[in-house]
Homo-oligomer: A and B are copies of this chain.
Amino acid sequence: METENSDVKISIIKAAGRLFIDKGYRATTIRQICAEAGVNIAAVNYHFGDKKNLYAAVIHYYKDSAFNKFPLDHGIRTGDSPRSKITSFIHAMAMRIFGEDSEPQFGKLLVRELIEPTGELDNLINDIFRPSFLKLSSLVKEILGKNATDRTIFFCSMSIVGQCLYFRNSPRLAGRMMKKENFSRQEIQTLADHISRFSLAALENYLTGKSTNPKG
C-alpha cells in the first residue's frame, strides 16, 4: 500500500470532506463517499484502512490547507499596533473558518467536532484550538493592558472566537445573508470587519466600563 497521497486518495479525501461538512461524520456513508469520488466501495478500506482513518485524513488535509493559506500570523507585522494586529488575526481566522467561495469550510468541520466528538477532538485541540487561542490571548492582553487578569483575558478571547464560529453556523434569520453555504471574500471581510470593530470596542472599554449588575 502506498504511503504518499495518490490521486485516488486525494479525490476520496475531497469527496469525503464535502460530505462530512454537509452531513457530518455519522450521517455520511462510505458508499456515498465512494459514489461521489467515483471509486469502488472497497477503495476507502484499501487506501485508508477504515472510515475513522479517512476522517482523520480529511481533517488533516483541510487543516493544512486552511493554515497554509492563512497562518496564525497572517498579515501581522512586528511593528503593527495592537489594534491592527488583532484585526489581522480576526480576518485570518475568519478566512480559515469560512473558506472562500467553494473552498472547504474548515470551521464547519471544527464545530461539528466540538458538538459531536469523533475522537479527533483531542488532536484538534492540541493542533488548532490551543495554539490559536494562545496567540489570540496574547493579542488581547496587549489591548487590555497589564491590569487585566488571566481570567479576563481568557473570557475576552472566548468572546472573540465565539463570534466567528457563530457567524459561520448561525441559523437563517429573515431573508438575511446568514446561513449561506459559501461566502465571498468580500462578505467574509465584512463579517471580520464587524467582529474586529465590535471586539476592539469591547476590549478598549472592558476594564473602564461600568458594572453590569442588573440591579445597578
Chain A positions within 8 Å of B, measured between CB atoms, are 23-24, 26-27, 75, 83-84, 87-88, 91, 108, 111-112, 114-116, 121, 124-125, 129-130, 133, 154-156, 158-159, 161-167, 169-174, 176, 178, 191, 193-206, 209-216
Task: Take A159-B194, A159-B198, A205-B205 as given contacts and tell me if A115 and B169 are in contact as well, using a CB distance cutoff of 8 Å.
Answer: yes
A155-B198, A198-B202, A206-B197 known; A115 and B121 CB under 8 Å?
Answer: no
Q: Please name the residue on chain B nearest to A77 by beta carbon.
A: B214
Q: Is the interface of A mostly helix, strand, loop or mixed?
A: helix
User: Complex Cα distance A213/B115, Å?
Assistant: 33
The residue from B87, B154, B204, B216 contacting A205, defined by CB atoms under 8 A apart? B204
Which residues from B are CB-within-8-Å of A26? 24, 26-27
Whether A167 contacts B158 by the Cβ 8 Å rule is yes
Residues of B near A200 (CB, < 8 A) are 209-210, 212
Query: What are 16 pairs between A and B in contact, CB < 8 Å?
Result: A91-B214, A125-B172, A129-B173, A155-B194, A156-B194, A158-B166, A161-B166, A162-B164, A162-B165, A165-B166, A197-B209, A200-B212, A201-B202, A202-B202, A204-B205, A204-B209
Contact among B27, B112, B202 for A199, CB-based, below 8 A: B202
Could you say which of B111, B164, B173, B205 contacts A125, with CB atoms under 8 Å apart?
Answer: B173
A87 touches which of B154, B167, B176, B212 (Cβ 8 Å): B212
Complex Cα distance, B144 from A194, in Å, reads: 14
5 new A-B pairs (CB below 8 Å) besides A84-B214, A165-B166? A27-B116, A161-B170, A198-B206, A199-B202, A200-B210
